[in-house]
Amino acid sequence: MAKIRIIDKSEDKMRIELRDTDPSFANALRRTVLTEVPFMAIDEVDIGENTSSIFNEFIAHRIGQVPLITDIKSYKLPDRCCGGQCARCSTIATLEAKGPGTVYSKELKFKDKNIKAVEGDIPIIILADGQRLRLEAKAVLGYAKNHAKWQGAHCTYKLLPVVEISKECDACESCVKACPRNIIEMAGKKAKVTDINACIECGECARACAKGAIKVSHAPDVFIMTLESYGGLPAKSILSYALDRLENKVTEFEEMLKKK
Ligand SMILES: [Zn+2]
């Protein structure tokens, strides 16, 4: 059973330590965060008027990529409702703009006031004098395994680095100067690593040590995972949804096996 410890967290970003586990679990969790947490994104755009120099398809594609504040409690996935025809599984946004000027994501006005672009200053199009853009768009929940516009977070992991400093260390401080992350300092007559999570295993410290007192490797069963939300949901909500989803998938698989 993997043990999880939160190293640090903010609203949008968290680093966690996974202990006593293997790469297959860490990767399954990473892939679930990336592709199986539902996020809101614009899926259909109905262009009423477009006299700009950009094709309708280009504008629709750009609008689809705008990250939206997501509400997974109030909305259902369209395929578990009516396919995106009602207010329980979709919401409508309108946009009306006239040039000259840049049209920004904040100009997408949603019927549901809880849904809006994560950032209001994402440029969509530049309109010249007299050019007009008028459209209606439908936002629905979806999974990034079906389209990247529904990806709402970035997630990576690495093995926990291990820096061993033997008693051969003569406190020459050459490793302190060599470390590009500035995470080695002198503690009495020996070098010491101050923040092992920040180590990138570059091996510069080991190369700089004339005595050969430093060995850099990594632990085989400890992972440092970084999860960064694009702002649609808090990082912690994304992680807990992904853990539930992963557990459900394993349970479903187990039930399928029992039926065979
Ligand atoms: Zn519906």
Amino acid letter, residue 72: I
* Mean pLDDT score, 135-164: 95
Identify the pLDDT of residue 37: 96
Identify the pLDDT of residue 158: 92
Identify the pLDDT of residue 197: 86
**29 C-alpha to ligand 1 centroid (Å):** 29
Contacts of 157 (CB under 8 A, 6+ apart): 18, 26, 27, 30, 223, 224, 225, 226
Identify the pLDDT of residue 25: 93
Identify the pLDDT of residue 156: 96
The token pair at 67 is 């990250």
Which of the residue ranges 137-141, 175-179, 194-198, 254-258 would you say has the lowest mean pLDDT? 194-198
- The whole model's pTM is what? 0.84
- 């992963």: which residue's tokens? 246
* Mean pLDDT score, 22-41: 95
pLDDT at 93 over 80: yes
For the CA atoms of the chain, what is the radius of gyration?
25
**75 C-alpha to ligand 1 centroid (Å):** 9
CB atoms within 10 A of CB 41: 24
**119 C-alpha to ligand 1 centroid (Å):** 27
Provide the pairing of β-strand 91-98 with 132-142: antiparallel
pLDDT at 177 over 80: yes
**72 C-alpha to ligand 1 centroid (Å):** 14
Identify the pLDDT of residue 204: 94
Identify the pLDDT of residue 119: 95
Q: How far apart are CA 113 and CA 210, in angstroms?
A: 64
pLDDT at 1 over 80: no
**140 C-alpha to ligand 1 centroid (Å):** 10
pLDDT at 133 over 90: yes
**81 C-alpha to ligand 1 centroid (Å):** 4
| Per-residue pLDDT band at 58 (split at 50, 70, 90) | very high
Identify the pLDDT of residue 16: 94
Contacts of 108 (CB under 8 A, 6+ apart): 42, 63, 66, 93, 94, 95, 116, 117, 137
**77 C-alpha to ligand 1 centroid (Å):** 8
Identify the pLDDT of residue 246: 94
**35 C-alpha to ligand 1 centroid (Å):** 22
**118 C-alpha to ligand 1 centroid (Å):** 24
Identify the pLDDT of residue 228: 97
| Per-residue pLDDT band at 21 (split at 50, 70, 90) | very high
pLDDT at 181 over 90: yes
Identify the pLDDT of residue 30: 96
Identify the pLDDT of residue 170: 87
Mean pLDDT in the chain? 94
**231 C-alpha to ligand 1 centroid (Å):** 25
Identify the pLDDT of residue 120: 95
